[in-house]
Structure 1
Amino acid sequence: MKTHHPTARTVATHALSALALSTGLLTSAQAAPDDEPAIQSYAIDYEAKLLTDRRTNGLSDTFLRPGAEFTVNAAHESGLIGYLQVGSVARANFPESKLWTAVAAAGYRWGNPQGWHYGLGLAHEMFPGAQVKDAPRNPFVDFNDTMRTRFDTSFAVIELGYGIVEARYLHVLSKDFRGNNTAVVCGSRFAPEFEAYLNLQADPSEAIACYGDSVKHSRGSQLLSIDTRYPIAPQTKLVAHVGYTQVKNFKQVTTYDYKLGVAHTRWGLDFELDAVAAGMRDRSYAVTYDVYGHTKRIDRTALVASLAKRF
């Protein structure tokens, strides 16, 4: 999560993709005497951005296609902070979605922005309409026993930073992390071959091991990221990120991700070019299908360019 005000850094993931701001979070300064300027007690920053590929935790949310997002960061002098981001997603990644997601967060931040600083908060990621319907719980037991899964996810967030270096830890509170459960994870990997497995025309041992003897969910998943934006010129910064996503009960989709790039501000616009890479423990689970049967690996290394306007 990016911000351009030292006291307005958010407590949510990029990823991770945070809650809509309540007006109670922001209070206006009391009227000052006529001969003294009013001191604003809060800051609100807005950013609109276009990207050649919109990624969360190194994985493409837009099926390796261009995307867009709009972000609001807010901070009150008391230490209360809020965050809201609306961004585009693809139905290949999030079936039946309305093609957008919203991440919102609220929390509290304290410490010295130029030294050690800390944050605590709660975040929620929403995918309106997105769901996987009628996915078998275990097709080797009963193909007609299905379940429905949504992608909405809630997090507890802890921040620790020193100067321009930010570390963020997220713990998944909701039943599933972005829809990761037995029906979805195993179904995405083995569904195209179910008939062959069921007819013993292919070795079913890996698929049977994935489904196990009961439905598993991913509450308790953990995400860790470290980010920095290091000034190398008056209007230019080096961007670096490393992240780790551990999905509870599904070690095969544990992912490391990295980003290295450069950001430059000119004509009131922010230009950025990043090399983004992700490594899933079993990369066959990163293969995503669209409704036309086209497949893409959403963890593929790529150069991602973006253009942003702050106001």
Structure 2
Amino acid sequence: MIPFRPLSLAVAATLAGAALPSSAQEMASYATTTEVKLTSDVRSRGVSDSFNRPGAKLGVQIAHESGLVGLAEFATVSKKQFAGGEGLGVTLAGGYRFGDPEGWHFGVGLATELFPGAQFEAPHGFDMATGSPTDWRRTKYDSAFALAEVGYGALEARVMNVISKNYRGANTGGVCGTMLSTMADPMPGLACYARGDQNSRGSWLFDLGYKIELNPTTTLNLHGGYQRIANFKEANFADYAVGVTHKRWGFSWSAEWVTTRTRVRELYLAFDGDKARATDNDRLVLSVSRSF
């Protein structure tokens, strides 16, 4: 059984930066930016989407001088974690941002995250009398979100609410089934099933970020986040990151230390055959990107 994975913050981060045109952008009605990124680990909210292995991202964003912004991002993900899929994660988003980029600014938007072909099958019930799982169903990892943000200068606070039925497959089958099949003690999984068949619509994702310019080419990046999964407190966790980005030769070079504090680590295990691998472990993530 395959546990769900948390959302990439590319949507919120792009809405935060792209919707406020720079002085150069203001001369045109809109600006288009394409970014290619190679990374040692594709992480979303501190958890690996690439089985702790290297990956790549391609993002295209369009920002209009009115404050409207659109984003399309494509990222490589692990087929072992997103079973049946094509090894691709697609994020589509649109929003509006207003205010002073050097002072108070605000934004709202909608986004969807898709994993073409990826799905898993899991039981949504458990017969205590016979000790057998029941009501097997297939679940996709696709999700949809509404988001809002408020910031002051380099400080950004964002909140995202899940408006789709599930958040990356977080439902009774995905959460309770994973706990029952991977935890040494079956009681937490059985207690999860005893709450009845539920989904994760209405989950909340919170993020706070701050950037400090150390010099004209180097920036210190600080991040803290928390996810509160509706109906499944076992999946709640916090994530933190501190990193440095340096611009040289037309590229952005980054090193970031990422850590998470999960409540039930078994929900963030990925399997290669019978071998389990933690995807929420502390990790130094290195990346290089270029924008066109």
Aligned partners of 1:246 and 1:252: how far apart in 2? 9
- Unaligned runs of 5+ residues in structure 2 are 1-5, 12-25
Are residue 306 (structure 1) and residue 290 (structure 2) matched?
Answer: no
2:88 counterpart residue number? 100
Residues 58 and 258, structure 1, Cα contact 8 Å, conserved in 2: yes
Instruction: Within 5 Å, give how 1:193-272 maps onto structure 2.
Output: 204-272=186-254
1:24 counterpart residue number? none
- For these two proteins, the number of residue pairs brought into alignment is 270
Distance change (3 Å), C-alpha of 1:14 and 1:153: closer
1:139 counterpart residue number? 126
Are residue 16 (structure 1) and residue 9 (structure 2) matched?
Answer: yes
Are residue 273 (structure 1) and residue 255 (structure 2) matched?
Answer: yes
Task: Map Cα deviations across residues 183-236 of structure 1 (whole Å, 9 max, x no partner).
Answer: 11122222257xxxxxxxx86432210111421110000001111221101110
Residues 180 and 186, structure 2, Cα contact 8 Å, conserved in 1: no
Distance change (3 Å), C-alpha of 1:211 and 1:81: same
**Structure with a larger share of its residues in strand:** 2
Once the two structures are TM-superposed, the CA of residue 252 in structure 1 deviates from its matched residue by: 1.0
Distance change (3 Å), C-alpha of 1:203 and 1:300: closer
Residues 52 and 305, structure 1, Cα contact 8 Å, conserved in 2: yes
Aligned mate of 1:175, from 162, 165, 168? 165
TM-score (norm 1): 0.83
Distance change (3 Å), C-alpha of 1:50 and 1:119: same
Task: Map Cα deviations across residues 151-187 of structure 1 (whole Å, 9 max, x no partner).
Answer: 1100001011111111111000000001001111122
Once the two structures are TM-superposed, the CA of residue 94 in structure 1 deviates from its matched residue by: 1.3
RMSD: 1.8
Residues 222 and 247, structure 1, Cα contact 8 Å, conserved in 2: yes
Aligned partners of 1:122 and 1:203: how far apart in 2? 40
Paired residue secondary structure (1:90): coil
TM-score (norm 2): 0.88
2:275 counterpart residue number? 294
Paired residue secondary structure (2:27): coil
Once the two structures are TM-superposed, the CA of residue 295 in structure 1 deviates from its matched residue by: 0.9
Q: Which amino acid aligns with 1:50?
A: L
Report the identity percentage: 40
Q: Which amino acid aligns with 1:136?
A: P
Task: Map Cα deviations across residues 78-103 of structure 1 (whole Å, 9 max, x no partner).
Answer: 11111111101112221111101111
